[in-house]
C-alpha cells in the first residue's frame, strides 16, 4: 500500500506536526499561576469561575441518574429531555419561540465555541471580534488556520463601548463571521439591544454569520438578564448562540454547554459533535435538566453576592488615583489599568511573588489588553478586601 508523503511546506514543524499548533504561545494566565508555585498564601483572582460548589439538587439529579444506570452513549445532540428543557428555558427567558430542533447540547461552552468555529473557519478566513477578548476565542480560530480581526472596544470611566461602524469597516472578503461576547470577558461590557439589532441587520445584508457568546447572560447586576440576540432573531438568521451551564449554576467542572442555531444546522452539528466528543456525559445532562428547572433561586443568590463584591472592588479601584476602571455591567471581572504599567505579564508575575495577589495580565486578552489587569470578583468580600489592601500598597 502506498503512503502519501508528509507535506514538506513551511506549515510543518520539525517534529512533523502542524507548525500552527507547535508554535502557539502558552497561556499567559497560566504563566502567572506557574510563577506563583511554592509561594504560600496567594489570593488567586486570575481564573474566572464561581466560588461555590454546584448546588446539591443538581448533584443529586446527576448521581441518581448515574446510579440508576444512565451511563450509556447519548444522541450526539444531547438527550431529548435536556434539549426540550433548554428550548423552554431560552423561550421563557427571551420571550421568543425557540424550538428544540435549534438546540444542540455540547460538552462545555468551550466545545460549543469550537464547534461554531469548525463550521465557519477555513485556512485564511477571518472572524471579526471586539477586543480585549477571552483568549480562547482567538485560540479556536488559530487552531483552524484562521485569523481573528480585532476591533478595539473603547474605554471611558462610564463604561466600555463598541463603535459599530468600526466593527463593520473591519469586515472584508475573507470575513466569515462577527463574534460577540456579551456580557464580555474581561471587560464586563454589555452590548445594547439596539446594537444587536443593527448588527443582525448588517449580517443579513452581507450574508455573514454572527456568533454570540452569551455564557454570562445571567451574570448581570442591574437587570434580570443581558440582552440576547435571540430576542431579535428569526430561526433562519445566520446566528449561532454559544452558552454554558458553567457560570450561572456553578458547574465549571461538569463540562456542559449548548448551542442555539438555525434548525438546518442540526444534522451538521450532530456529525461534528460525533467527531469531537460524541455527546456530553449522560448523567451530567440530567444534572443540566435539574439546573434549568430548579436553578433560578440559586442564580439570584449568587448574583446578589457577586453584586456586592462588584461594589467593593469597583469602589476601591475607582477611588485610587493611579487606577482607571469602569463599573462592569455583567460577568464577574474588574478590568483595570494602572498608571505607568506597560508590561502586564511582568507586573502580574512580580505582584504574585511580592504581594501574593494573583491577577490575569491584560496582554492575555490581546494587544489591546496590554497595560490592563483582570481580577475575578466571584470570591468572598474578605478575600477581595485583603487582595485589594495588598495591591494598593504594592502600587503606592
Ligand atoms: C467568554 C467565555 N466564553 C466561554 C467560556 C467557556 O465556558 P465553559 O467551557 O466552562 O462552558 C468562558 C469560560 O471562562 C468564557 O469566559
Beta bridge partners of 260: 103, 241
In the numeric block, which cell numbers belong to residue 209?
Answer: 454569520
Mean pLDDT of 108-113: 98
What percentage of the chain reaches a pLDDT higher than 70? 97
- Which of 211, 279, 284 lies closest to 249, judged by CA? 284
Ligand 1 atom 1, closest CA: 185
Mean pLDDT over all residues of the chain? 95
Do 180 and 77 share a structural domain? yes
Rounded distance between C-alpha atoms, residue 354 and residue 336, angstroms:
20
Do 368 and 343 share a structural domain? yes
* Range with the poorest average pLDDT among 8-12, 284-288, 313-317: 8-12
pLDDT digits (tens, 9 = 90+) for 203-245: 999 999 999 999 999 999 989 899 999 999 999 999 999 999 9
Do 223 and 105 share a structural domain? yes
Mean pLDDT of 95-115: 97
Q: How far is the CA of 284 from the centre of ligand 1 (A)?
A: 17
> SS3 of 253, please?
helix
* End position of a domain, from candidates 242, 268, 294: 294
User: Does position 363 have pLDDT exceeding 60, yes or no?
Assistant: yes
Q: Which residues does 328 contact at the CB level (< 8 Å), separation at least 6?
A: 183, 187, 188, 189, 310, 314, 334, 335
pLDDT (0 to 100) of residue 10 = 58
Count up the domains in the chain and report the number.
2
Do 223 and 204 share a structural domain? yes
Q: How far is the CA of 213 from the centre of ligand 1 (A)?
A: 8
Q: Locate all alpha helices (DSSP H) within the chain, ordered by sequence.
A: 19-22, 28-35, 56-67, 80-94, 109-120, 135-143, 164-169, 193-206, 266-276, 282-294, 296-319, 344-355, 381-395
CATH of the domain at 350: 3.90.1150.10
In a domain, 384, yes or no: yes
Question: In terms of residue numbers, what domain contains 236?
Answer: 56-294
pLDDT (0 to 100) of residue 369 = 96
Rounded distance between C-alpha atoms, residue 182 and residue 192, angstroms:
9
Ligand 1 atom 8, closest CA: 109
* Range with the poorest average pLDDT among 9-23, 275-289, 355-369: 9-23
Residues with CB under 6 A from ligand 1: 48, 108-110, 113, 134, 181, 185, 213, 215, 244, 246, 252, 257
Look-up of cell digits 448521581 = 63
Q: How far is the CA of 36 from the centre of ligand 1 (A)?
A: 24
Do 308 and 229 share a structural domain? no
Rounded distance between C-alpha atoms, residue 374 and residue 380, angstroms:
17
In a domain, 281, yes or no: yes
CATH of the domain at 126: 3.40.640.10
Do 335 and 202 share a structural domain? no
pLDDT (0 to 100) of residue 5 = 46
Q: How far is the CA of 364 from the centre of ligand 1 (A)?
A: 15
* End position of a domain, from candidates 242, 277, 294: 294
pLDDT digits (tens, 9 = 90+) for 38-74: 899 999 999 999 999 999 999 999 999 999 999 999 9
Rounded distance between C-alpha atoms, residue 32 and residue 26, angstroms:
11
Q: Is the pTM value of this prediction over 0.85? A: yes
Amino acid at each position: 500500500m502506498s503512503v502519501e508523503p508528509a507535506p514538506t511546506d513551511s506549515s510543518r514543524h520539525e517534529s512533523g506536526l502542524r507548525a500552527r499548533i507547535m508554535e502557539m504561545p502558552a497561556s499567559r494566565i497560566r504563566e502567572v499561576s506557574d510563577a506563583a508555585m511554592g509561594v504560600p498564601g496567594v489570593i488567586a483572582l486570575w481564573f474566572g469561575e464561581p466560588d461555590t460548589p454546584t448546588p446539591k439538587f443538581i448533584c443529586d439529579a446527576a448521581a441518581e441518574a448515574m446510579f440508576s444506570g444512565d451511563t450509556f452513549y447519548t444522541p450526539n445532540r444531547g438527550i431529548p429531555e435536556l434539549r426540550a428543557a433548554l428550548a423552554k428555558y431560552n423561550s421563557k427567558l427571551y420571550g421568543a419561540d425557540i424550538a428544540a430542533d435549534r438546540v444542540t447540547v455540547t460538552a462545555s461552552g468551550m466545545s460549543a465555541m469550537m464547534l461554531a468555529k469548525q463550521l465557519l473557519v477555513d485556512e485564511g478566513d477571518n472572524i471579526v471580534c471586539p477586543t480585549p477578548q477571552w483568549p480562547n476565542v482567538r485560540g479556536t480560530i488559530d487552531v483552524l488556520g484562521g485569523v481573528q480581526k480585532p476591533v478595539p472596544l473603547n474605554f471611558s470611566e462610564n463604561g466600555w463601548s463598541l463603535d459599530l461602524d468600526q466593527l463593520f469597516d473591519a469586515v472584508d472578503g475573507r470575513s466569515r463571521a462577527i463574534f460577540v461576547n456579551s456580557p464580555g470577558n474581561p471587560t464586563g461590557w454589555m452590548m445594547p439591544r439596539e446594537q444587536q439589532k443593527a448588527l443582525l441587520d448588517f449580517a443579513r445584508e452581507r450574508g455573514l454569520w454572527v456568533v454570540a457568546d452569551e455564557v454570562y447572560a445571567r451574570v448581570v447586576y442591574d437587570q434580570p438578564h443581558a440582552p440576547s440576540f435571540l430576542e431579535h432573531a428569526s430561526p433562519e438568521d445566520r446566528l449561532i448562540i454559544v452558552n454554558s451551564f458553567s457560570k450561572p449554576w456553578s458547574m465549571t467542572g461538569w463540562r456542559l454547554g449548548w448551542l442555539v442555531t438555525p434548525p438546518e444546522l442540526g444534522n451538521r452539528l450532530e456529525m461534528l459533535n460525533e467527531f469531537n466528543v460524541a455527546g456530553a456525559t449522560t448523567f451530567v445532562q440530567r444534572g443540566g435538566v435539574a439546573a434549568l428547572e430548579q436553578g433560578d433561586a440559586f442564580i439570584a443568590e449568587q448574583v446578589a453576592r457577586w453584586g456586592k463584591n462588584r461594589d467593593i472592588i469597583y469602589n476601591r479601584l475607582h477611588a485610587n488615583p493611579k487606577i482607571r476602571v469602569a463599573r462592569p455591567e455583567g460577568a464577574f471581572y474588574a478590568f483595570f489599568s494602572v498608571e505607568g504599567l506597560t508590561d502586564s505579564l511582568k507586573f502580574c508575575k512580580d505582584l504574585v511573588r511580592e504581594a501574593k495577589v494573583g491577577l490575569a495580565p491584560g496582554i492575555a486578552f490581546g494587544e489591546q489588553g496590554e497595560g490592563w489587569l483582570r481580577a475575578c470578583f466571584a470570591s468572598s468580600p474578605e478575600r477581595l478586601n485583603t487582595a485589594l489592601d495588598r495591591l494598593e500598597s504594592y502600587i503606592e
